[in-house]
Structure 1
Amino acid sequence: MANDWKSRLGILYSTNPDYQYECEGQEQAEMLAPEAQKLRIVLSRKHRAGKEVSLITSFVGSDEDLADLCKQLKQRCGVGGSSKDGEIIIQGDQRDKLLQILLSLGYKQTKKAGG
């Protein structure tokens, strides 16, 4: 383990030279297979000064897997976006295009939600 003091904020001191720091929440979420993912695509304007974004929610997997999927979607839609907190944000109303792309990538349980 790297000598990262931020990961050990709850530990004050240990006299045991063989002590191994164990941090809670370090388990990475195991990615479900694409056909088992139940993704939802919604249109959102909240906290974005009225600009529309397509929001993909309910992704189960690590942050790296989420970032990889986000990169693929941004490239295939030709727009910007980001991924954080288990969600993918794609600029503009791209719901129909995203649905077709995700279905072609094997995410068979993907649906458009809302309006």
Structure 2
Amino acid sequence: MSRGKKLDLFIGANIEDGWNEIEEKKNTSKKTVLSLNKHQLFFSKEKRRGKVVTLVGEFQLEKNNAEELLKKLKKKLGCGGSFKDGFMEFQGELKEKLRPLLVDEGFNFKAKH
């Protein structure tokens, strides 16, 4: 019996029938990927554990493309960060440095952000 699989014992079933494995259907809906000029990004600043974190999003990119972009931006900025739930998180207050880099990549921002 592997971990993570649900088993169901039917009441009144013959012992010879054994255990039956229940298959759960996973949601296979895919996000639509927007072109770069249709992204409307915005900045948000949060404090986590006493340190400032800059959030940028929401990106409608595939995870592989978003990870590549994140890696390139972290290298140019010299900071740490991660990609979670469509938002890129960067360590530090980097709005002024990050905006021109994303505009060069072809992304747009909402007004006043």
* TM-score, L = length of structure 1: 0.70
Aligned length: 98
Residue 26 of structure 2: aligned partner: 23
State the structure with bigger RCO (CA 8 A, min sep 6), 1 or 2: 1
**Identity across matched positions, percent:** 27
Partner amino acid for 1:58?
Answer: E
CA deviation digits over 1:27-52, x for unaligned, max 9? 3323211111011112211xx21100
Q: Distance in 2 between matches of 1:112 and 1:68?
A: 27
Q: Which structure's residues are more often strand, by fraction?
A: 2
Unaligned regions of 5+ residues in structure 2, if any? Answer: 7-20
TM-score after normalising by structure 2: 0.71
RMSD: 2.6
Which residue of structure 2 aligns with residue 40 of structure 1? 42
Q: Which amino acid aligns with 1:91?
A: Q
Helix, strand or coil at the partner of 1:74: helix
Larger Rg: 2
Instruction: Give the corresponding residue for 2:100.
Output: 100
